[in-house]
Amino acid sequence: MIACDFDGTITRDDTLHLVVERFGDGRTWRALHPELLAGRISVEAAMEREFATVRADRATALAAVREHAGLRDGFCEFLAWTRQRGYPFFVMSNGFRTIIRDFLTHIGEPELDVYSHDCRFDTDPPTIVWAERGTVCPLCNRPCKRHDLTSVRGDARVVYIGDGLSDRCVAQAADIVYARADLAEYLAGLAVPFRPFDDFHDIQTDLTRTADAA
Ligand SMILES: [Mg+2]
Ligand SMILES: [Zn+2]
């Protein structure tokens, strides 16, 4: 099975960041991001503080994401390939279902399995609705995406694809990891093996080689 992050992985830009920069206070993001990477503030606390600055209705926020988030090259072809091969595909995100669903529908993939938080735009500021992710993860001490992977993996071999902070624990539970950006740096620092990628063509080529060699 394949589990894949959304923000900065399927999309080129982080959609929460995009919404905060356009409709909230981008300075909050820039001030909190180093704190986050250094582990001095939790992801949830940072998201609450950033999102509290957002003033946008749902339609406006979704339209901005559709227009500006950008789709990483090769994603739709890669999905077609996973279906051909019979590999189940799951989106596992620390972002918001409303935004993810809308973007995936926009690119012609309305029915992917999505595990994520959500947000409501009928309040001002919007309200984050946290996903149920079980008890705390032994690695990060918070409920995290590792829970979602555990709930669906069964005895499947797991390929995980990601780029950031929220992928750190779940990536280490996978059999094969494709990583870029912050996640690649982090795993390299721990000497955890991963395969670098720029786009989904890279992953499809590499996984085809791996599967055909097996
Ligand atoms: Mg990401
Ligand atoms: Zn964790």
The CA distance from 179 to 92, in Å, is 14
Going from the Cα of 153 to the center of ligand 1, the distance in angstroms, rounded, reads 20
Edge-to-edge order in the sheet of strand 89-96: 127-129, 113-120, 89-96, 2-4, 159-162, 176-179, 195-196
Going from the Cα of 106 to the center of ligand 2, the distance in angstroms, rounded, reads 31
pTM of the shown model:
0.96
Going from the Cα of 55 to the center of ligand 1, the distance in angstroms, rounded, reads 23
pLDDT of residue 162: 98
Going from the Cα of 181 to the center of ligand 1, the distance in angstroms, rounded, reads 9
Give residue-wise pLDDT tens across range 75-125.
Answer: 999 999 999 999 999 999 999 999 999 999 999 999 999 999 999 999 999
Evaluate if residue 63 carries a pLDDT over 90: yes
Neighbours of ion ligand 1 (CB under 5 A): 5, 7-8, 163-164
The ligand whose atoms approach the alpha carbon of 69 most closely is 1
Going from the Cα of 14 to the center of ligand 1, the distance in angstroms, rounded, reads 7
Side chain identity, residue 192? V
Give residue-wise pLDDT tens across range 126-165.
Answer: 999 999 998 899 998 889 999 999 999 999 999 999 999 9
pLDDT category at 39 given cuts 50, 70, 90 is confident
Going from the Cα of 164 to the center of ligand 1, the distance in angstroms, rounded, reads 5
Going from the Cα of 69 to the center of ligand 1, the distance in angstroms, rounded, reads 12
* Statement: 2-13+57-213 belongs to CATH 3.40.50.1000: yes
- Tokens encoding 59: 């339609």
